[in-house]
Amino acid sequence: GAVVSQHPSRVICKSGTSVKIECRSLDFQATTMFWYRQFPKQSLMLMATSNEGSKATYEQGVEKDKFLINHASLTLSTLTVTSAHPEDSSFYICSARDPGGKYTDTQYFGPGTRLTVL
């Protein structure tokens, strides 16, 4: 149980284009999902908390107009990187809580999306 998927697993795009990453909870409903970014050899940095049916809460320093988050259903959250630039190249990982599962306090992570902006 508590499986989270992400799509695509890797994407290469040109500078200035927009990229959408999907995060799905496969066997549970997630009212809250989280989006992280991880640079090589560094820790996961929380970008935003995505709440189903309401606006996302962004961490300090994260541009909400650049990283658009939509959580339209209990099993899907999307992150759109708008007008991507090479410095946005990173590993993007989502996670979700399973409020009805055995461990309600933990987060289950997706496999990540490697974004490379040329």
Partner 1 sequence: SQKIEQNSEALNIQEGKTATLTCNYTNYSPAYLQWYRQDPGRGPVFLLLIRENEKEKRKERLKVTFDTTLKQSLFHITASQPADSATYLCALSSNQGGKLIFGQGTELSVKP
Q: Residue numbers of the site for partner 1 (CB under 8 A)?
A: 4, 6, 32, 34, 42-46, 49, 91, 93, 95, 97, 99, 103-112, 114
Q: How far is the CB of 40 from partner 1 (least distance, A)?
A: 10
Strands (E) located in the chain: 4-7, 10-13, 19-25, 32-38, 45-51, 57-58, 67-73, 76-81, 90-97, 107-109, 113-117
Using the minimum distance from each CB to partner 1, give the nearer residue, 14 or 41: 41
Using the minimum distance from each CB to partner 1, give the nearer residue, 46 or 76: 46
